[in-house]
Copies of this chain bind each other. A is one copy, B any other.
Amino acid sequence: MEADLIRELSLILAGTPSTGVLAGIGDDAALLSAPKARNILVTTDSQRENVHFRWDWTDPVSVGYRLVAVNVSDIASKGGTPWTGVIAVGLPPDYDPEVLRGVYRGIAEACREYGCSLVGGDLSRDPGRWNFVMTLLGTAPEGVFPSRSGLSEGDALYLLGRPGRARAGFLSLARGVTSEALEPARRAFRRPRALLSEGQALARRPEVVATIDSSDGLERSLSELSLASRKSVRVESLPVTEEVRNWSALLGEDPETLVWTGGEDYDILLGVRKEGEESFLHWVRTELLKGSPEKIHYVGRAVKAGKPAVRFSDGSLKKIKGRGFDHTVS
């Protein structure tokens, strides 16, 4: 089944990069030529209808673009270069082939933008709604892998990006707040950008000891770094921009909550060694972000070894249990 469709999808992907691809779509497995880089990164991420997106909030091209971007973001946060991937699609019982074509147009667009290819896939009926799973390979130079577990006492925490945008966009769509001023937020939600060149440059700085893509929001990302590194972190500043303050007013939301729990911005949260922090910041401001809309925000500091926890500047403490916060502790 879906014979002509598979051919059509392959045609939509024509012209996307093909580095190291010896045999692509159309066989039991794709054949790749191992990269010169010694290290390979692998990540997988999904986009599911009515979980990650709704068709009345977005369009097929954006869903395809987003699927690739969120995977690229994981590779980017580890300093890698996206290489090639595969996509498994769950087709709902009443699926419209034109939607699938649109999604693949978005996939092709993102593959061209981020320099990666698609070498295989799986189309299958699913009794539920549309779901898309991408697995993306990347390459990384030897010795470069800023893990989640690299935080030491005293390390500073910075966030590179524009937190709260996607959440504002999501709320705008979910609540039907159609204000034109929120359009950049809606776009940030529909079509997140991955901080690829930024992530690559950051991972190569010796002062950067830990990174995580902030896809699940600042709260979750800090929690994950704290857990993996087994260090408490102290939050000293929430990066609330003027833009987010304005949007929050339109949405009747607390801007700090938007930034703290928002997520889906695909920013990069990083731990920076105290020694060299100043010259690192100088480099970020004068070179990395020259002419870029992204911002670097100081968030706080890893304060001590022991039980993972986040302490706020007002003195309140949140212990971290599992991958979430135990909100009963103050």
Contacts and interface: CB of A to CB of B under 8 A. Distances in A.
Interface residues of A, number: 72
A27 interface: yes
A1 B323 contact: yes
B124 A127 contact: no
Given A51-B124, A131-B128, A6 B323 contact: yes
Number of identical monomers bound together in the oligomeric complex: 2
B43 A30 contact: yes
A137 interface: yes
A148 B27 contact: yes
Contact of A49 (B75, B122, B127): B127
A256 interface: no
B77 A28 contact: yes
A192 interface: no
A161 interface: no
Contacts of A121: 44
Contacts of A22: 39, 145
A29 B74 contact: yes
Interface of A: 1-4, 6-7, 22-23, 26-35, 37-46, 48-52, 73-75, 77-78, 80, 84, 86-88, 90, 92, 119-122, 124-129, 131, 133, 135, 137-138, 140, 145, 147-148, 211-213, 228, 321-324
